Amino acid sequence: MSYGAVQVLWGISFSVNRGQIVCMIGPNGAGKTTTLNTIIGVLHPKRGRILFNGEELAAQPPHERVKHRIALVPEGRQLWPTMSVEDNLLMGAFPAEFRARATPNLEGVYGIFPRLKERRHQLAGTLSGGEQQMCAIGRGLMADPQLLMLDEPSLGLAPKMVDEIFRFIAEIVKHGVTILLVAQNIDYALQVSQYGYVMETGRLVLEGTGEALLNDHHIQEAYLGVGAG
Q: Is residue 32 domain-resident?
A: yes
Asked whether residue 50 is assigned to any structural domain, the reply reads yes
Residue 10 lies in a domain: yes
- Total number of domains constituting the chain: 1
pLDDT of amino acid 7: 58
Q: Where are the alpha helices (DSSP H) in the chain?
A: 32-40, 62-67, 85-91, 96-99, 102-112, 114-118, 129-141, 159-173, 186-192, 210-214, 217-222
Q: What is the model's pLDDT at position 14?
A: 95
pLDDT at 187: 93
> What's the confidence (pLDDT) of residue 5?
41
pLDDT, position 94: 80
Residue 97 lies in a domain: no
Query: For 148-191, how does the pLDDT look when each residue is reduced to its tens digit (9 = 90+)?
Result: 999 999 998 999 999 999 999 999 999 999 999 999 889 999 99
Residue 158 main-chain phi, psi, to 5 deg: -65, 150
Range of the domain at 33: 2-69+145-222
Is 53 a domain residue? yes
- Identify the pLDDT of residue 119: 97
Flag whether 178 is in a domain.
yes
Determine, yes or no, domain membership for 135: no
pLDDT recorded at residue 95: 74
Question: What's 155's domain CATH number?
Answer: 3.40.50.300
Give the pLDDT confidence score for residue 100 in this predicted structure. 83
- C-alpha 58/C-alpha 47 separation (Å) is 9
* Per-residue confidence (pLDDT) for residue 117, from 0 to 100: 97
Is position 154 within any domain? yes
Could you read off the pLDDT of 25-47 as tens digits, one per residue?
999 889 999 999 999 999 988 88
**Positions in the chain whose pLDDT score sits under 50:** 1-5, 228-229
Q: Is 117 helix (H, G, I), strand (E, B) or coil?
A: helix
| Closest alpha carbon to 65 in 89, 94, 40 | 40
Q: In sequence order, what DSSP letters do the residues of 89-101 get, joined into one string?
A: HHHTT-SHHHHTT
